[in-house]
Structure 1
Amino acid sequence: MVNAIVTMPPYAPYLREVLAHPIVSGIRFNTVMPVRNLEETVKQLAGEAATQGKELWVDLKCRQLRIRAYAVPPFTEIELTHNISVDPGARAYFSDGRESATVVAANGNKLIMLEGPKRVVGPGESVSIPHPSLKVEGYLTDTDKQYVEAGLRIGLHNYLLSFVEGSADIEGIKRLDPAAAVIEKIESLAGLNYVENEWHGGRLMAARGDLYMQVSKPHHMLRALEQVISKDKNAVVASRIFPSLVESLEPSCQDIGDVDNLLRMGYRTFMFGDDICFRRDSIMSGLNLLRAVAERYEK
Protein backbone atom coordinates (compact mmCIF):
# COMPACT_ATOMS: atom_id res chain seq x y z
CA MET A 1 0.00 0.00 0.00
CA VAL A 2 1.22 3.49 -0.79
CA ASN A 3 1.93 5.72 2.19
CA ALA A 4 2.95 9.32 2.69
CA ILE A 5 5.10 11.41 5.01
CA VAL A 6 3.81 14.97 5.19
CA THR A 7 5.88 18.04 6.04
CA MET A 8 3.92 19.85 8.73
CA PRO A 9 4.38 23.52 9.61
CA PRO A 10 4.77 23.46 13.40
CA TYR A 11 1.64 25.50 14.12
CA ALA A 12 -0.65 24.23 11.36
CA PRO A 13 -4.28 24.06 12.56
CA TYR A 14 -5.00 21.12 10.21
CA LEU A 15 -2.37 18.79 11.75
CA ARG A 16 -4.87 16.28 13.14
CA GLU A 17 -6.79 16.13 9.88
CA VAL A 18 -3.58 15.30 8.00
CA LEU A 19 -2.60 12.67 10.57
CA ALA A 20 -6.02 11.03 10.23
CA HIS A 21 -5.64 10.54 6.48
CA PRO A 22 -5.45 6.80 5.75
CA ILE A 23 -2.26 6.90 3.66
CA VAL A 24 -0.29 9.12 6.06
CA SER A 25 2.31 7.08 7.95
CA GLY A 26 4.11 10.00 9.54
CA ILE A 27 4.95 13.68 9.50
CA ARG A 28 8.20 15.53 8.87
CA PHE A 29 9.33 18.52 10.88
CA ASN A 30 11.67 20.76 8.90
CA THR A 31 14.11 22.19 11.46
CA VAL A 32 14.65 25.33 9.41
CA MET A 33 11.20 26.51 10.54
CA PRO A 34 11.12 29.04 13.40
CA VAL A 35 9.62 27.84 16.68
CA ARG A 36 9.00 29.39 20.09
CA ASN A 37 10.60 26.51 21.99
CA LEU A 38 12.52 23.75 20.24
CA GLU A 39 11.92 20.91 22.68
CA GLU A 40 8.27 21.73 23.36
CA THR A 41 7.52 21.88 19.63
CA VAL A 42 9.06 18.49 18.91
CA LYS A 43 7.36 16.94 21.94
CA GLN A 44 3.97 18.31 20.90
CA LEU A 45 4.28 17.11 17.29
CA ALA A 46 5.52 13.67 18.37
CA GLY A 47 2.62 13.38 20.82
CA GLU A 48 0.02 14.34 18.21
CA ALA A 49 1.47 11.79 15.79
CA ALA A 50 1.60 9.04 18.39
CA THR A 51 -2.07 9.45 19.34
CA GLN A 52 -2.97 8.33 15.81
CA GLY A 53 -0.30 5.65 15.55
CA LYS A 54 1.92 7.74 13.27
CA GLU A 55 5.58 8.77 13.46
CA LEU A 56 7.40 12.09 13.61
CA TRP A 57 10.58 12.47 11.58
CA VAL A 58 12.91 15.37 12.42
CA ASP A 59 14.75 16.62 9.34
CA LEU A 60 18.30 17.64 10.23
CA LYS A 61 20.02 19.99 7.77
CA CYS A 62 23.56 18.53 8.12
CA ARG A 63 25.80 19.64 5.21
CA GLN A 64 22.97 21.20 3.23
CA LEU A 65 23.96 24.79 2.50
CA ARG A 66 21.53 27.37 3.81
CA ILE A 67 21.66 31.12 4.13
CA ARG A 68 22.32 32.38 7.65
CA ALA A 69 21.51 36.10 7.37
CA TYR A 70 19.82 38.58 5.07
CA ALA A 71 21.92 39.75 2.14
CA VAL A 72 21.55 41.74 -1.07
CA PRO A 73 23.85 40.08 -3.60
CA PRO A 74 25.93 41.03 -5.47
CA PHE A 75 26.28 44.13 -3.26
CA THR A 76 26.78 42.13 -0.07
CA GLU A 77 28.24 38.73 0.72
CA ILE A 78 25.96 35.73 1.30
CA GLU A 79 26.61 34.16 4.71
CA LEU A 80 26.11 30.38 4.81
CA THR A 81 25.61 27.81 7.56
CA HIS A 82 28.93 26.09 6.75
CA ASN A 83 32.44 27.08 5.79
CA ILE A 84 33.05 25.99 2.21
CA SER A 85 35.62 26.08 -0.54
CA VAL A 86 34.71 26.14 -4.23
CA ASP A 87 36.41 27.24 -7.43
CA PRO A 88 35.58 30.70 -8.81
CA GLY A 89 33.09 30.50 -11.65
CA ALA A 90 30.90 27.82 -10.05
CA ARG A 91 27.15 28.40 -10.34
CA ALA A 92 25.05 28.70 -7.20
CA TYR A 93 21.33 27.90 -7.48
CA PHE A 94 18.49 29.41 -5.47
CA SER A 95 14.68 28.99 -5.34
CA ASP A 96 14.69 25.28 -6.28
CA GLY A 97 16.91 26.03 -9.26
CA ARG A 98 14.78 28.82 -10.71
CA GLU A 99 17.54 31.38 -10.04
CA SER A 100 21.30 31.10 -10.36
CA ALA A 101 24.38 33.28 -10.15
CA THR A 102 28.15 32.97 -10.48
CA VAL A 103 30.39 32.54 -7.45
CA VAL A 104 33.37 34.92 -7.60
CA ALA A 105 34.93 33.72 -4.35
CA ALA A 106 34.23 31.75 -1.18
CA ASN A 107 35.67 33.20 2.02
CA GLY A 108 34.99 30.86 4.93
CA ASN A 109 31.20 30.73 5.16
CA LYS A 110 30.67 33.71 2.86
CA LEU A 111 30.00 33.78 -0.87
CA ILE A 112 30.84 36.72 -3.09
CA MET A 113 28.59 36.69 -6.16
CA LEU A 114 29.16 38.18 -9.59
CA GLU A 115 25.69 39.17 -10.75
CA GLY A 116 22.98 38.12 -8.35
CA PRO A 117 20.48 36.86 -7.51
CA LYS A 118 19.22 40.42 -7.72
CA ARG A 119 16.98 40.35 -4.68
CA VAL A 120 17.15 40.06 -0.93
CA VAL A 121 18.00 36.53 0.17
CA GLY A 122 17.12 35.51 3.70
CA PRO A 123 17.77 33.07 6.55
CA GLY A 124 16.79 29.47 5.88
CA GLU A 125 16.94 29.63 2.08
CA SER A 126 18.84 26.72 0.59
CA VAL A 127 21.73 27.17 -1.82
CA SER A 128 22.87 24.43 -4.17
CA ILE A 129 26.36 24.50 -5.72
CA PRO A 130 26.69 21.42 -7.97
CA HIS A 131 30.37 21.82 -8.73
CA PRO A 132 33.01 19.08 -8.30
CA SER A 133 35.33 21.46 -6.45
CA LEU A 134 32.82 22.13 -3.65
CA LYS A 135 33.95 21.07 -0.19
CA VAL A 136 31.69 21.62 2.84
CA GLU A 137 33.27 21.76 6.29
CA GLY A 138 31.59 19.65 8.94
CA TYR A 139 28.33 17.72 8.88
CA LEU A 140 25.86 18.18 11.75
CA THR A 141 25.15 21.82 12.57
CA ASP A 142 24.83 23.21 16.08
CA THR A 143 21.06 23.38 15.58
CA ASP A 144 21.01 19.73 14.46
CA LYS A 145 22.77 18.75 17.68
CA GLN A 146 20.26 20.73 19.74
CA TYR A 147 17.41 18.78 18.16
CA VAL A 148 19.13 15.45 18.84
CA GLU A 149 19.71 16.45 22.46
CA ALA A 150 16.03 17.41 22.78
CA GLY A 151 15.05 14.10 21.19
CA LEU A 152 17.07 12.18 23.75
CA ARG A 153 15.29 13.99 26.59
CA ILE A 154 11.79 13.20 25.25
CA GLY A 155 12.50 9.74 23.82
CA LEU A 156 12.40 10.65 20.11
CA HIS A 157 14.90 8.96 17.80
CA ASN A 158 13.60 9.38 14.22
CA TYR A 159 15.79 11.51 11.94
CA LEU A 160 16.08 12.41 8.29
CA LEU A 161 19.72 13.16 7.49
CA SER A 162 20.33 15.62 4.66
CA PHE A 163 23.07 15.17 2.05
CA VAL A 164 24.33 11.79 3.24
CA GLU A 165 27.52 11.02 1.31
CA GLY A 166 29.26 8.33 3.38
CA SER A 167 28.96 5.94 6.30
CA ALA A 168 30.75 8.47 8.52
CA ASP A 169 27.65 10.67 8.33
CA ILE A 170 25.54 7.91 9.89
CA GLU A 171 28.20 7.16 12.48
CA GLY A 172 28.17 10.84 13.50
CA ILE A 173 24.55 10.82 14.63
CA LYS A 174 24.87 7.35 16.15
CA ARG A 175 27.53 8.73 18.46
CA LEU A 176 25.03 11.31 19.70
CA ASP A 177 22.07 8.91 19.81
CA PRO A 178 22.90 5.19 19.52
CA ALA A 179 19.17 4.43 19.16
CA ALA A 180 18.70 6.81 16.23
CA ALA A 181 16.47 5.52 13.42
CA VAL A 182 17.71 7.19 10.26
CA ILE A 183 16.44 7.78 6.75
CA GLU A 184 19.38 8.76 4.56
CA LYS A 185 18.56 11.58 2.14
CA ILE A 186 20.47 11.21 -1.13
CA GLU A 187 20.83 14.67 -2.63
CA SER A 188 24.14 14.80 -4.52
CA LEU A 189 26.39 12.92 -6.92
CA ALA A 190 28.59 12.00 -3.95
CA GLY A 191 25.49 10.56 -2.29
CA LEU A 192 24.70 8.48 -5.37
CA ASN A 193 28.28 7.20 -5.40
CA TYR A 194 27.88 6.21 -1.74
CA VAL A 195 24.68 4.32 -2.56
CA GLU A 196 26.38 2.46 -5.38
CA ASN A 197 29.65 1.57 -3.66
CA GLU A 198 29.39 1.84 0.11
CA TRP A 199 25.78 1.60 1.32
CA HIS A 200 25.00 -1.75 2.95
CA GLY A 201 21.71 -1.22 4.75
CA GLY A 202 19.36 1.22 6.41
CA ARG A 203 16.73 3.21 4.55
CA LEU A 204 17.29 5.58 1.67
CA MET A 205 15.43 8.61 0.40
CA ALA A 206 15.68 10.01 -3.13
CA ALA A 207 15.37 13.68 -2.15
CA ARG A 208 14.48 15.24 -5.49
CA GLY A 209 14.53 18.89 -4.43
CA ASP A 210 18.32 19.21 -4.36
CA LEU A 211 19.17 16.03 -6.26
CA TYR A 212 17.59 17.37 -9.45
CA MET A 213 19.92 20.38 -9.32
CA GLN A 214 22.96 18.20 -8.62
CA VAL A 215 22.75 15.71 -11.51
CA SER A 216 24.88 16.72 -14.49
CA LYS A 217 21.98 16.66 -16.98
CA PRO A 218 18.26 16.94 -16.15
CA HIS A 219 17.30 13.58 -17.66
CA HIS A 220 19.93 11.84 -15.50
CA MET A 221 17.41 12.28 -12.68
CA LEU A 222 15.57 9.21 -13.96
CA ARG A 223 18.69 7.07 -13.66
CA ALA A 224 19.32 8.42 -10.16
CA LEU A 225 15.80 7.55 -9.03
CA GLU A 226 16.13 4.04 -10.44
CA GLN A 227 19.50 3.61 -8.76
CA VAL A 228 18.10 4.41 -5.31
CA ILE A 229 15.03 2.16 -5.56
CA SER A 230 17.10 -0.70 -7.02
CA LYS A 231 19.30 -0.63 -3.91
CA ASP A 232 16.51 -0.17 -1.35
CA LYS A 233 13.05 -1.49 -2.21
CA ASN A 234 11.64 0.49 0.73
CA ALA A 235 13.23 3.79 -0.31
CA VAL A 236 11.27 7.01 0.11
CA VAL A 237 10.90 9.48 -2.75
CA ALA A 238 10.59 13.11 -1.69
CA SER A 239 9.87 16.61 -2.97
CA ARG A 240 8.48 17.98 -6.23
CA ILE A 241 5.34 15.89 -5.61
CA PHE A 242 2.29 17.55 -7.25
CA PRO A 243 3.80 21.08 -7.25
CA SER A 244 0.93 22.33 -9.44
CA LEU A 245 -1.37 22.02 -6.42
CA VAL A 246 0.51 24.88 -4.76
CA GLU A 247 -1.02 27.28 -7.30
CA SER A 248 -4.29 25.52 -8.16
CA LEU A 249 -6.36 22.65 -6.84
CA GLU A 250 -6.48 21.23 -10.37
CA PRO A 251 -3.31 19.15 -10.84
CA SER A 252 -1.29 19.31 -14.03
CA CYS A 253 -1.11 16.39 -16.43
CA GLN A 254 2.67 16.15 -16.03
CA ASP A 255 2.39 15.99 -12.24
CA ILE A 256 0.08 12.99 -12.46
CA GLY A 257 2.39 11.31 -14.98
CA ASP A 258 5.42 11.99 -12.76
CA VAL A 259 3.90 10.27 -9.74
CA ASP A 260 2.65 7.39 -11.88
CA ASN A 261 6.20 6.92 -13.17
CA LEU A 262 7.55 6.81 -9.60
CA LEU A 263 4.99 4.14 -8.74
CA ARG A 264 6.03 2.14 -11.81
CA MET A 265 9.65 2.33 -10.64
CA GLY A 266 8.54 0.74 -7.36
CA TYR A 267 8.33 3.65 -4.93
CA ARG A 268 5.59 3.23 -2.34
CA THR A 269 6.49 5.89 0.26
CA PHE A 270 6.21 9.53 -0.82
CA MET A 271 7.26 12.54 1.21
CA PHE A 272 5.55 15.84 0.45
CA GLY A 273 7.87 18.86 0.67
CA ASP A 274 7.26 22.24 2.22
CA ASP A 275 5.33 24.31 -0.33
CA ILE A 276 2.33 22.04 -0.89
CA CYS A 277 1.95 21.55 2.87
CA PHE A 278 1.56 25.20 3.87
CA ARG A 279 -2.17 25.13 3.03
CA ARG A 280 -4.73 22.60 4.18
CA ASP A 281 -6.50 22.35 0.83
CA SER A 282 -3.36 21.75 -1.23
CA ILE A 283 -1.94 18.97 0.96
CA MET A 284 -5.28 17.22 1.46
CA SER A 285 -5.81 17.34 -2.31
CA GLY A 286 -2.31 15.93 -2.80
CA LEU A 287 -2.94 13.06 -0.42
CA ASN A 288 -6.25 12.20 -2.06
CA LEU A 289 -4.71 12.37 -5.52
CA LEU A 290 -1.76 10.17 -4.55
CA ARG A 291 -4.15 7.60 -3.14
CA ALA A 292 -6.21 7.66 -6.35
CA VAL A 293 -3.23 7.36 -8.70
CA ALA A 294 -1.77 4.51 -6.62
CA GLU A 295 -4.97 2.43 -6.58
CA ARG A 296 -4.11 0.64 -9.81
CA TYR A 297 -0.85 -0.58 -8.28
CA GLU A 298 -2.38 -2.00 -5.11
CA LYS A 299 -2.28 -5.79 -4.88
Structure 2
Amino acid sequence: MADDIVDERTTVFAANRNLLFAAAYDILGSVTDAEDVVQDTWLSWERVDHAAIEHPRAYLMRIVVHRAVDQLRKARRLREDYIGPWLPEPLWTEEGADGREERRDGVALGLLVVLETLSPLERAAFVLREAFAYEYDEIAGILDRTPTAVRQLVHRARGHVHARRPRFTADRRDAQVAAERFVNAAVGGSVTDLLDVLAPEVTLWNDGGGRVRAALRPVHGAGKVARLLAAVGPRYAGCEVRWAFPGGTPTALIVAGDRPVAVVTVEADSSGGRVRAIYGMANPEKLAHLSQHN
Protein backbone atom coordinates (compact mmCIF):
# COMPACT_ATOMS: atom_id res chain seq x y z
CA MET A 1 0.00 0.00 0.00
CA ALA A 2 2.80 2.41 0.91
CA ASP A 3 4.55 1.65 -2.37
CA ASP A 4 1.34 2.43 -4.27
CA ILE A 5 1.13 5.85 -2.59
CA VAL A 6 4.75 6.62 -3.45
CA ASP A 7 4.17 5.54 -7.07
CA GLU A 8 1.09 7.75 -7.30
CA ARG A 9 2.97 10.75 -5.93
CA THR A 10 5.76 10.23 -8.44
CA THR A 11 3.34 9.74 -11.34
CA VAL A 12 1.34 12.88 -10.54
CA PHE A 13 4.44 15.01 -10.12
CA ALA A 14 6.04 13.69 -13.31
CA ALA A 15 2.86 14.44 -15.25
CA ASN A 16 3.05 18.08 -14.14
CA ARG A 17 6.79 18.64 -14.06
CA ASN A 18 7.04 20.33 -17.47
CA LEU A 19 4.30 22.76 -16.50
CA LEU A 20 5.97 23.55 -13.18
CA PHE A 21 9.37 24.13 -14.76
CA ALA A 22 7.91 26.36 -17.47
CA ALA A 23 6.13 28.53 -14.90
CA ALA A 24 9.22 28.77 -12.67
CA TYR A 25 11.48 29.62 -15.61
CA ASP A 26 9.18 32.33 -16.95
CA ILE A 27 9.00 33.95 -13.52
CA LEU A 28 12.74 33.65 -12.82
CA GLY A 29 14.47 33.78 -16.20
CA SER A 30 16.95 31.23 -14.88
CA VAL A 31 17.14 27.56 -15.81
CA THR A 32 19.21 26.77 -12.73
CA ASP A 33 16.90 28.57 -10.30
CA ALA A 34 13.82 27.09 -11.97
CA GLU A 35 15.21 23.58 -11.53
CA ASP A 36 15.91 24.32 -7.87
CA VAL A 37 12.37 25.60 -7.36
CA VAL A 38 10.90 22.50 -9.00
CA GLN A 39 13.07 20.28 -6.78
CA ASP A 40 11.90 22.15 -3.67
CA THR A 41 8.33 21.70 -4.85
CA TRP A 42 8.90 17.94 -5.14
CA LEU A 43 10.23 17.80 -1.59
CA SER A 44 7.08 19.55 -0.35
CA TRP A 45 4.93 17.26 -2.47
CA GLU A 46 6.53 14.19 -0.89
CA ARG A 47 5.55 15.31 2.60
CA VAL A 48 1.96 16.38 1.97
CA ASP A 49 -1.16 14.33 2.81
CA HIS A 50 -2.35 13.54 -0.70
CA ALA A 51 -5.73 12.32 0.45
CA ALA A 52 -6.54 15.90 1.46
CA ILE A 53 -5.69 17.39 -1.95
CA GLU A 54 -8.58 17.63 -4.36
CA HIS A 55 -6.75 19.24 -7.29
CA PRO A 56 -3.08 18.15 -7.40
CA ARG A 57 -2.09 20.29 -10.39
CA ALA A 58 -3.47 23.46 -8.82
CA TYR A 59 -1.76 22.60 -5.54
CA LEU A 60 1.59 22.03 -7.23
CA MET A 61 1.32 25.22 -9.28
CA ARG A 62 0.59 27.24 -6.17
CA ILE A 63 3.71 25.88 -4.46
CA VAL A 64 5.99 26.47 -7.43
CA VAL A 65 4.75 30.02 -8.07
CA HIS A 66 5.15 31.05 -4.44
CA ARG A 67 8.66 29.62 -4.32
CA ALA A 68 9.58 31.22 -7.64
CA VAL A 69 8.34 34.65 -6.49
CA ASP A 70 10.35 34.35 -3.27
CA GLN A 71 13.43 33.27 -5.21
CA LEU A 72 13.03 36.15 -7.67
CA ARG A 73 13.05 38.68 -4.83
CA LYS A 74 16.31 37.19 -3.54
CA ALA A 75 17.85 36.95 -7.01
CA ARG A 76 17.15 40.59 -7.83
CA ARG A 77 19.00 41.73 -4.74
CA LEU A 78 22.01 39.70 -5.87
CA ARG A 79 21.76 41.10 -9.41
CA GLU A 80 22.28 44.64 -8.16
CA ASP A 81 26.05 44.01 -8.33
CA TYR A 82 25.94 42.20 -11.68
CA ILE A 83 28.50 43.45 -14.20
CA GLY A 84 26.84 44.66 -17.39
CA PRO A 85 23.34 43.85 -18.67
CA TRP A 86 21.66 40.88 -16.99
CA LEU A 87 19.97 38.55 -19.48
CA PRO A 88 17.90 35.43 -18.75
CA GLU A 89 19.62 32.07 -19.04
CA PRO A 90 18.87 30.71 -22.51
CA LEU A 91 16.38 27.89 -22.65
CA TRP A 92 17.25 25.64 -25.56
CA THR A 93 14.27 24.03 -27.29
CA GLU A 94 15.14 21.99 -30.37
CA GLU A 95 12.66 21.22 -33.11
CA GLY A 96 10.49 18.33 -32.03
CA ALA A 97 11.56 18.55 -28.38
CA ASP A 98 8.68 18.05 -25.94
CA GLY A 99 10.27 19.64 -22.89
CA ARG A 100 7.54 22.30 -22.65
CA GLU A 101 4.56 20.39 -23.89
CA GLU A 102 2.09 22.39 -21.82
CA ARG A 103 2.40 25.22 -24.36
CA ARG A 104 3.16 25.33 -28.05
CA ASP A 105 5.89 27.93 -27.46
CA GLY A 106 7.58 29.35 -24.44
CA VAL A 107 7.99 33.04 -23.66
CA ALA A 108 10.37 34.80 -26.06
CA LEU A 109 13.65 35.93 -24.54
CA GLY A 110 12.97 39.54 -25.49
CA LEU A 111 9.76 39.43 -23.50
CA LEU A 112 11.59 37.88 -20.55
CA VAL A 113 13.91 40.89 -20.61
CA VAL A 114 10.91 43.22 -20.42
CA LEU A 115 9.42 41.15 -17.58
CA GLU A 116 12.52 42.04 -15.54
CA THR A 117 11.00 45.55 -15.20
CA LEU A 118 7.93 44.18 -13.39
CA SER A 119 7.53 43.51 -9.70
CA PRO A 120 7.67 39.81 -8.77
CA LEU A 121 3.88 39.67 -8.21
CA GLU A 122 3.16 41.53 -11.45
CA ARG A 123 5.42 39.13 -13.31
CA ALA A 124 3.81 36.04 -11.80
CA ALA A 125 0.30 37.31 -12.53
CA PHE A 126 1.23 38.24 -16.10
CA VAL A 127 2.90 34.88 -16.79
CA LEU A 128 -0.04 32.89 -15.40
CA ARG A 129 -2.55 34.93 -17.40
CA GLU A 130 -0.75 35.48 -20.70
CA ALA A 131 1.46 32.41 -21.01
CA PHE A 132 -0.77 29.81 -19.34
CA ALA A 133 -4.26 31.31 -19.84
CA TYR A 134 -5.28 30.99 -16.19
CA GLU A 135 -8.51 32.76 -15.23
CA TYR A 136 -8.33 35.66 -12.80
CA ASP A 137 -9.96 33.74 -9.98
CA GLU A 138 -7.50 30.87 -10.48
CA ILE A 139 -4.55 33.28 -10.31
CA ALA A 140 -6.07 34.85 -7.20
CA GLY A 141 -6.07 31.43 -5.53
CA ILE A 142 -2.45 30.82 -6.50
CA LEU A 143 -1.17 34.23 -5.37
CA ASP A 144 -3.43 34.62 -2.32
CA ARG A 145 -4.92 37.82 -3.74
CA THR A 146 -8.44 38.87 -4.67
CA PRO A 147 -9.52 38.63 -8.33
CA THR A 148 -9.74 42.43 -8.38
CA ALA A 149 -6.16 42.75 -7.15
CA VAL A 150 -5.02 40.23 -9.77
CA ARG A 151 -6.74 42.19 -12.55
CA GLN A 152 -4.86 45.28 -11.42
CA LEU A 153 -1.56 43.39 -11.38
CA VAL A 154 -2.12 42.06 -14.90
CA HIS A 155 -3.30 45.46 -16.17
CA ARG A 156 -0.16 47.20 -14.90
CA ALA A 157 2.05 44.43 -16.27
CA ARG A 158 0.43 44.64 -19.71
CA GLY A 159 0.98 48.38 -19.74
CA HIS A 160 4.70 47.95 -19.06
CA VAL A 161 5.03 45.19 -21.66
CA HIS A 162 3.12 46.97 -24.42
CA ALA A 163 5.16 50.13 -23.88
CA ARG A 164 8.43 48.23 -24.34
CA ARG A 165 7.63 45.55 -26.92
CA PRO A 166 7.04 46.17 -30.65
CA ARG A 167 3.60 45.38 -31.99
CA PHE A 168 4.74 43.87 -35.26
CA THR A 169 7.42 41.23 -35.74
CA ALA A 170 8.52 39.23 -38.76
CA ASP A 171 6.98 35.86 -39.48
CA ARG A 172 9.06 32.83 -38.63
CA ARG A 173 10.57 32.28 -42.08
CA ASP A 174 11.56 35.92 -42.59
CA ALA A 175 12.90 36.08 -39.04
CA GLN A 176 15.10 33.03 -39.63
CA VAL A 177 16.44 34.43 -42.91
CA ALA A 178 17.30 37.72 -41.20
CA ALA A 179 18.92 35.93 -38.25
CA GLU A 180 21.11 33.77 -40.49
CA ARG A 181 22.16 36.79 -42.57
CA PHE A 182 23.02 38.62 -39.36
CA VAL A 183 25.14 35.82 -37.89
CA ASN A 184 26.99 35.30 -41.18
CA ALA A 185 27.73 39.02 -41.46
CA ALA A 186 28.92 39.24 -37.85
CA VAL A 187 31.20 36.22 -38.06
CA GLY A 188 32.50 37.51 -41.39
CA GLY A 189 33.33 40.86 -39.83
CA SER A 190 31.54 42.82 -42.55
CA VAL A 191 30.24 46.23 -41.45
CA THR A 192 28.56 46.67 -44.84
CA ASP A 193 26.67 43.37 -44.62
CA LEU A 194 25.68 44.09 -41.02
CA LEU A 195 24.29 47.52 -41.91
CA ASP A 196 22.30 45.86 -44.67
CA VAL A 197 20.48 43.56 -42.25
CA LEU A 198 20.25 45.79 -39.15
CA ALA A 199 17.30 48.10 -38.54
CA PRO A 200 18.41 51.71 -37.87
CA GLU A 201 17.07 51.56 -34.29
CA VAL A 202 18.58 48.14 -33.46
CA THR A 203 19.70 47.48 -29.89
CA LEU A 204 22.29 44.94 -28.75
CA TRP A 205 22.27 43.48 -25.23
CA ASN A 206 25.41 41.52 -24.41
CA ASP A 207 25.75 39.53 -21.16
CA GLY A 208 29.30 38.56 -20.23
CA GLY A 209 28.73 38.71 -16.49
CA GLY A 210 32.23 40.12 -15.98
CA ARG A 211 33.69 36.76 -17.01
CA VAL A 212 34.22 37.48 -20.70
CA ARG A 213 34.60 40.80 -22.50
CA ALA A 214 31.24 42.31 -23.36
CA ALA A 215 29.57 45.71 -23.66
CA LEU A 216 28.70 47.00 -20.19
CA ARG A 217 25.58 48.78 -21.46
CA PRO A 218 23.06 48.12 -24.22
CA VAL A 219 24.36 49.39 -27.57
CA HIS A 220 21.88 51.39 -29.66
CA GLY A 221 21.90 52.22 -33.37
CA ALA A 222 22.92 50.31 -36.49
CA GLY A 223 26.29 52.04 -36.89
CA LYS A 224 27.52 51.38 -33.35
CA VAL A 225 26.20 47.80 -33.31
CA ALA A 226 27.71 47.00 -36.71
CA ARG A 227 31.16 48.32 -35.78
CA LEU A 228 31.20 46.45 -32.47
CA LEU A 229 30.07 43.14 -33.96
CA ALA A 230 32.42 43.40 -36.95
CA ALA A 231 35.27 43.66 -34.45
CA VAL A 232 34.27 40.73 -32.19
CA GLY A 233 32.31 38.47 -34.56
CA PRO A 234 35.31 36.96 -36.38
CA ARG A 235 36.50 35.36 -33.13
CA TYR A 236 33.69 32.83 -33.71
CA ALA A 237 34.82 31.92 -37.22
CA GLY A 238 35.03 28.16 -37.56
CA CYS A 239 32.57 27.53 -34.73
CA GLU A 240 29.52 25.36 -35.27
CA VAL A 241 26.21 27.21 -35.31
CA ARG A 242 23.03 25.38 -34.31
CA TRP A 243 19.59 26.95 -34.64
CA ALA A 244 16.48 26.54 -32.54
CA PHE A 245 13.33 28.58 -31.76
CA PRO A 246 12.83 28.88 -28.00
CA GLY A 247 9.86 31.18 -27.50
CA GLY A 248 9.38 31.18 -31.28
CA THR A 249 12.47 33.38 -31.84
CA PRO A 250 15.49 32.33 -33.96
CA THR A 251 18.34 31.53 -31.59
CA ALA A 252 21.87 30.43 -32.48
CA LEU A 253 23.91 28.20 -30.20
CA ILE A 254 27.58 28.74 -31.06
CA VAL A 255 29.82 25.80 -30.19
CA ALA A 256 33.61 25.68 -30.21
CA GLY A 257 34.73 22.08 -30.15
CA ASP A 258 32.36 20.57 -27.61
CA ARG A 259 31.85 23.75 -25.56
CA PRO A 260 28.99 26.25 -25.92
CA VAL A 261 30.61 29.71 -26.12
CA ALA A 262 27.63 31.93 -26.93
CA VAL A 263 23.91 32.01 -27.52
CA VAL A 264 22.49 34.72 -29.75
CA THR A 265 18.78 35.46 -29.99
CA VAL A 266 17.76 37.63 -32.93
CA GLU A 267 14.47 39.51 -33.34
CA ALA A 268 13.45 40.95 -36.69
CA ASP A 269 10.73 43.45 -37.57
CA SER A 270 7.90 42.93 -40.05
CA SER A 271 9.17 45.63 -42.42
CA GLY A 272 11.69 43.92 -44.64
CA GLY A 273 12.75 41.47 -41.94
CA ARG A 274 15.54 43.65 -40.57
CA VAL A 275 17.10 42.86 -37.19
CA ARG A 276 15.88 45.20 -34.44
CA ALA A 277 17.06 43.42 -31.28
CA ILE A 278 20.00 41.15 -30.49
CA TYR A 279 20.54 39.34 -27.19
CA GLY A 280 24.00 37.86 -26.85
CA MET A 281 24.78 35.52 -23.97
CA ALA A 282 28.46 34.76 -23.39
CA ASN A 283 28.60 34.34 -19.60
CA PRO A 284 29.97 30.79 -19.25
CA GLU A 285 28.06 30.22 -16.00
CA LYS A 286 24.79 30.79 -17.83
CA LEU A 287 25.82 28.47 -20.67
CA ALA A 288 26.96 25.50 -18.57
CA HIS A 289 23.56 23.77 -18.68
CA LEU A 290 23.69 23.76 -22.49
CA SER A 291 26.56 21.27 -22.57
CA GLN A 292 23.94 18.51 -22.52
CA HIS A 293 22.99 19.45 -26.08
CA ASN A 294 26.42 18.57 -27.43
When you count strand as a share of all residues, which structure comes out higher? 1
TM-score normalized by the length of structure 1: 0.24
TM-score normalized by the length of structure 2: 0.25
